[in-house]
Amino acid sequence: MTADADEAGLPASGRAQDGPRPGPAADGGRPLRIALLTYKGNPYCGGQGVYVRHLSRELARLGHRVEVIGAQPYPVLDRVEGATGAGGPTLTRLPSLDLYRQPDPFRTPAREEYRDWIDTLEVATMKTGGFPEPLTFSLRAGRHLRARRGDFDVVHDNQTLGYGLLGDLGAPLVTTIHHPITVDRRLELDAADSRLRRASVRRWYAFTRMQGRVARRLPSVLTVSGSSRQEIVEHLGVRPERISVVHIGADTDRFSPDPSVPQVPGRIVTTSSADVPLKGLVHLVEALAEVRAEHPAAHLVVVGKRAEDGPVAGAIERYGLKDAVSFVKGITDEELADLIRGSQVACVPSLYEGFSLPAAEAMATGTPLVATTGGAIPEVAGPDGETCLAVPPGDAPALAAALGRLLDDAGLRARLGAAGRARVLARFTWARAAQGTVERYREAMDRAAAGRSSRAVHPAQRSGPARPVRPRVPQPPASAAGRAGPAQPAAVQPAPAHPHTDSGRPAATGTPSGSNHSC
């Protein structure tokens, strides 16, 4: 283990390969030792932590040994009865400087917090308006994995897409790209209302250039929808044959119908991790104002943190909806499920989603859904009029009409709710996601083994893709390379807090649009 990593919940030996190897996995194959990487791990806010929490649990249930390697906010992992190892997935903490933590986002670390040149790079990028975490986590994770060569059968990166993960990690690399973050960048640039704002957006999303370069060199990419697969090909230039679609899903045990939960007349529920154009929340607020003309009891509950200013706050004030729109955060999965069950309608107003966990979770509870046709949402929500009511993205009048139609028609609500749950059970569960992911792991391992065998037989005429060139990333000064003690902080000037923040906290980046219950 590297010096800057510590482990939580691991066996006493603290190594992924220690202890007896268990019997066959659920698919009959050899149980795998899996390193699952995540540069953000909050299991309640943003989709990365949601993905890691549920996928790691289901991989462990299949008999595999899963070690999650993550940075702050650290993931919370579920115990699994009967699992090998320490009762389920284990966590290795690979700490960053956690520059965006509350209550002091965009903080300046104390001198003694600096450990090495990667920390200096992290602060310098943040202070100049960029988002450092994909690069800096990849450098730390790559160093950690190379120091533990032989501990893992496969490395699974959850959309870090950083230079530090190129090259030989000691095990085949499989990478999940939920959707290209260039989509978020484009939508934010389209919404920018000044030259300064556009410059700020470009600087914040500068890491997407790195992600594109890395993605094009990956041998095995997973994504969560057919729509995302096409976007990855078009935006990132990844060859289609390298991309496999493995749908993710809802926790259908937790998110299930419960007739004992009373419905609140007029309640509409939605989730939104941040007040950014991608989420389309401002259009839902505009639609609510129209709906209330016919349904005065209609009100909106947003699962997420209230922004004190911005487009949504402006729309709430403009339409006089202060008492009709409420925000909740810090709630558990169980509380979220009850909130959805008690709503007459769930709504996903996003302009684009690479999947849409909120849609799947709402449908799993049997709550009728109004959703846009942005990105992969139709792939999840299903046909208009059969499993949901579908409207064009960014169309507030269409949203209002669909919401009003459902509030008026109890029979339609019941029919769509039942059909929606049936669709999720048939297509979108975490157990199915884990099974499909393991199949891709084994394919990647077989390709890697074939490549090694070919090179051994024909050392002078290698087949397959050329060895990737090591990326150019900042290196520590020669004078500091052998020096003990922390690296010195860079002399940088702080930039203004980035506009893509919610009370200073950056919006979730590179996620599958998770539940966001605790944002």
User: What's the pLDDT tens digit per position in 131-179?
Assistant: 999 999 999 999 999 999 999 999 999 999 999 999 999 999 999 999 9
Q: Are residues 206 and 157 in the same domain?
A: yes
Collapse the DSSP code of 208 into the 3-class scheme (helix H, G, I; strand E, B; otherwise coil) and give the result: helix
Write out the two tokens for 43. 């299991």
**471 located within any domain:** no
For 56, residues 6+ apart whose C-beta sits below 8 A from its C-beta are 36, 66, 68, 75, 77, 78, 88, 89
**77 located within any domain:** yes
Please provide the DSSP assignment of 140-200 as one string.
Answer: HHHHHHHHTTTS-SEEEEES---GGGSS--SS-EEEE-SS-HHHHHHHHHHH--SHHHHHH
**31 located within any domain:** yes
Domain boundary among 374, 406, 427: 427
**190 located within any domain:** yes
Q: Are residues 412 and 449 in the same domain?
A: no
Cα distance between residue 40 and residue 285, in whole Å: 29
- What pLDDT does 103 receive? 87
Q: Are residues 111 and 187 in the same domain?
A: yes
Q: What would the pLDDT profile of 406-460 be if each residue is shown by its tens digit?
A: 999 999 999 999 999 999 999 999 999 999 999 999 999 999 998 877 777 666 5
Is the Cβ–Cβ distance between 8 and 75 less than 8 Å? no
Cα distance between residue 134 and residue 98, in whole Å: 13
Q: Are residues 447 and 360 in the same domain?
A: no
User: Residue 185's closest CA among 207, 214, 163?
Assistant: 207
Q: Are residues 234 and 345 in the same domain?
A: no
- What pLDDT does 61 receive? 96
Q: What is the biggest distance separating any 2 CA atoms in the chain, rounded to whole angstroms?
A: 77
Give the domain CATH number at 129: 3.40.50.2000
Instruction: Name beta bridge partners: 173.
Output: 155
Cα distance between residue 161 and residue 184, in whole Å: 16
154 vs 8, which has greater pLDDT? 154
**322 located within any domain:** yes
Is the Cβ–Cβ distance between 309 and 421 less than 8 Å? no
Domain count, the chain: 2
Phi, psi of 472 (to 5 degrees): -90, 110
**286 located within any domain:** yes
Q: Are residues 241 and 348 in the same domain?
A: no
User: Residue 53's closest CA among 324, 254, 319?
Assistant: 254
Q: Are residues 441 and 362 in the same domain?
A: no
**332 located within any domain:** yes
User: Residue 367's closest CA among 394, 388, 385?
Assistant: 388
Q: Are residues 314 and 185 in the same domain?
A: no
478 vs 294, which has greater pLDDT? 294
Cα distance between residue 373 and residue 394, in whole Å: 10
Strand ranges (DSSP E) for 168-322? 173-176, 221-223, 243-245, 267-271, 299-303
- What pLDDT does 48 receive? 86
Q: What would the pLDDT profile of 75-131 be if each residue is shown by its tens digit?
A: 989 999 876 555 799 999 999 999 998 889 999 999 999 999 999 999 999 999 999
Cα distance between residue 298 and residue 294, in whole Å: 9
Instruction: Count CB neighbours of 329 within 10 A.
Output: 15
Cα distance between residue 5 and residue 136, in whole Å: 14
pLDDT (average), residues 277-305: 96
Cα distance between residue 399 and residue 405, in whole Å: 10
For residue 175, the Cα-to-chain-centroid distance in whole angstroms is 13
Q: Are residues 220 and 278 in the same domain?
A: no
Which range marks the domain in which residue 18 is found? Answer: 6-249+434-456
Is the Cβ–Cβ distance between 502 and 305 less than 8 Å? yes
- What pLDDT does 4 receive? 59
Q: Are residues 28 and 174 in the same domain?
A: yes
pLDDT (average), residues 346-352: 97
What's the whole-number average pLDDT of the chain? 87
pLDDT (average), residues 465-476: 50
Q: Are residues 384 and 440 in the same domain?
A: no
Q: Are residues 286 and 417 in the same domain?
A: yes
**478 located within any domain:** no
Write out the two tokens for 130. 């960029």
Whole-model pTM: value is 0.83
